[in-house]
Amino acid sequence: MSVIMVTYDLHKPGDKGYDALYDYLRTYECRHPVESVWFLDTLKPTETIIDDMMKILPYPSHDRLIVIRQKKKGWTAYRAPKLSAWFSDPKRTWDL
C-alpha cells in the first residue's frame, strides 16, 4: 500500500452530482482533513485512481484533480492531530 493525496477544485461545489465521488473516496482507508484534500491508503497506482475519479465526475471538463503518491518523510501537519496519528500509524505503508 501507499499513501496517496487527492485534491480537487470542483466546478460546482455542493452539487449532489459529487456524492458519487465522495462515496468512491470513502471506499479506501482514508482521511479527509480539509475540504478538498483526501489521503488514501491503497495498492492502486495514482493513474488508476485519477482514471476512476474522471469517470465519476459530473463536470469532468471543468473540474480539476491532482493525485500524488506521498513519501513517509515528506509530511507534516498543523492542528490536525487525527491526521498526524493516521500518518504515524504503523499500518501505513509508505513509499520511501
Half-sphere exposure of 87 (CA within 13 A, CB side): 21
- Which cell numbers hold the place of 42? 491503497
Q: At the topology level of CATH, where does 2-72 sit?
A: Alpha-Beta Plaits (3.30.70)
Rounded to the nearest integer, the mean pLDDT of the chain is 92
Domain boundary assignment for the chain: 2-72
Each residue of 46-82: pLDDT tens digit?
A: 999 999 999 998 888 899 999 999 988 888 899 999 9
How far are the Cα atoms of 12, 17, 94 from residue 69, in angstroms, in the given order? 26, 26, 9
